[in-house]
């Protein structure tokens, strides 16, 4: 029986066998050399190593972190400066990452005696903000306070309903600053926040679980008295929450908002 030539195995050259071995490891997911030398995963160390390699002429490109995401709503200097302009911008601007067809506009006059602020429209708000089941709860409270819906300013921090939003991330993307600007344009005398945990986080409060203890809403134009309450879904589901909120409103307003 004849033997394969020296330097081959089963008729394959040594270089072909080496290439096949490397290809096998590459398919297995090993695409770099192994080393017993400890490697740092810290970004600062990686930058320093990249600079050292570049200076040494190793051809390694310096480490560049990805650019930050664009601020939600774009640059603050480009935000509308009147409430009417803000309403139109809120529904149309491409700088908000939400489908324009699903956005819901705020409603109400500038300088209203009360601003009702929601984290976002409710899932059943189809005809407008607070047009669903939660709106009936709000209308009942307003009637007891001697106010009609068209006398108050109703707004939401988000223009659409978003299941389980990450409020911390939304704040990092600039939504909290945009909300403060919106409130400054509306210039209400008081603010009732129905969704205290999300709004509190959005505004940068360090203890959102203690939002019920907050008494003011800070915005670009200063601060106004505020009540931070449970969201509408909780008020609808648990009548005890409505009773507690009503007692707070009586203490807060002295029953006279007009």
- pLDDT per residue over 111-160, tens digit each? 999 999 999 999 999 899 999 988 998 998 899 888 999 999 999 999 99
- pLDDT per residue over 136-148, tens digit each? 989 988 998 889 9
Q: Lowest mean pLDDT of 1-5, 22-26, 106-110, 223-227, name the range.
A: 1-5
The rounded radius of gyration (Å) of the Cα atoms in the chain is 29
- pLDDT per residue over 227-250, tens digit each? 888 888 888 888 788 788 878 787
pLDDT of residue 248: 78
Phi, then psi, of 94 in degrees rounded to 5: -75, -5
Give the pLDDT band of residue 219 (cuts 50, 70, 90): low
The answer, yes or no, to whether residue 5 has pLDDT greater than 60, is: no
Tokens of 254: 């002295």
- pLDDT per residue over 67-98, tens digit each? 777 788 999 999 999 999 999 999 999 999 99
Tokens of 162: 């978003």
pLDDT of residue 215: 62
The answer, yes or no, to whether residue 22 has pLDDT greater than 90, is: no
Query: End-to-end alpha-carbon separation of the chain, Å?
Result: 109
The answer, yes or no, to whether residue 9 has pLDDT greater than 70, is: no
**Residue in the block written with tokens 């480009």:** 78
- pLDDT per residue over 28-53, tens digit each? 666 556 666 666 656 666 667 667 76
For the entire predicted model, the pTM comes to 0.69
- pLDDT per residue over 147-200, tens digit each? 999 999 999 999 999 999 999 999 999 999 999 999 999 999 999 999 878 888
pLDDT of residue 145: 87
d(CA 233, CA 245): 14
Cβ proximity of 156 and 91 under 8 Å: no
> If DSSP states are collapsed to H, E and C, what string results for the chain?
CCCCCCCEECCEEHHHHHHHHHHHHHHCCCCCCCCCCCCCCCHHHHHHHHHHHHHCCCCCCCCCCCCCCCCCCCCHHHCCCCHHHHHHHHHHCCCCCCCHHHCCCCECCCCCCCEEEECCCCCCCCCCCCCCHHHHHHHHHHHHCCCCHHHCEEEECCCCCCCCCCHHHHHHCCHHHHHHHHHHHHCCCCEEEECHHHHHHHCCCCCHHHHHHCCEEEECCEEEEEEEECCHHHHHHCHHHHHHHHHHHHHHHCCCCC
d(CA 11, CA 194): 78
CATH class of the domain whose range is 79-253 = alpha beta
Cβ proximity of 128 and 87 under 8 Å: no
pLDDT of residue 170: 93
The answer, yes or no, to whether residue 214 has pLDDT greater than 80, is: no
Tokens of 238: 């648990």
- Domain range summary for the chain, segments of one domain joined by +: 79-253
């Amino acid at each position: 029986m004849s033997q394969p030539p020296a330097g081959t195995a089963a008729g394959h050259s040594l270089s072909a066998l080496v290439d096949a071995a490397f290809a096998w490891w590459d398919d297995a997911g090993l695409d770099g050399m192994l080393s017993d030398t400890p490697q740092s995963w810290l970004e600062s160390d990686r930058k320093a190593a990249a600079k050292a390699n570049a200076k040494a002429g190793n051809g390694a490109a310096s480490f560049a972190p990805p650019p930050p995401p664009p601020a939600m709503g774009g640059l603050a200097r480009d935000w509308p400066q009147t409430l009417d302009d803000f309403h139109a911008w809120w529904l149309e601007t491409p700088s908000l990452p939400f489908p324009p067809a699903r956005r819901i506009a705020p409603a109400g006059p500038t300088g209203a005696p009360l601003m009702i602020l929601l984290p976002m429209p409710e899932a059943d708000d189809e005809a407008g903000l607070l047009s669903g089941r939660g709106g009936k709860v709000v209308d009942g409270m307003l009637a007891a306070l001697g106010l009609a819906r068209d006398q108050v300013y109703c707004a939401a921090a988000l223009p659409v309903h978003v299941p389980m939003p990450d409020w911390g991330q939304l704040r990092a993307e600039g939504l909290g600053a945009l909300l403060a600007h919106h409130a400054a344009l509306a210039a209400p005398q008081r603010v009732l926040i129905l969704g205290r945990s999300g709004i509190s986080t959005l505004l940068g409060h360090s203890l959102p679980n203690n939002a019920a203890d907050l008494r003011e809403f800070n915005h670009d134009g200063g601060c106004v008295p505020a009540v931070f309450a449970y969201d509408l879904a909780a008020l609808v589901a648990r009548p005890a929450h409505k009773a507690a909120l009503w007692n707070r409103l009586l203490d807060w307003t002295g029953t006279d908002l007009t």
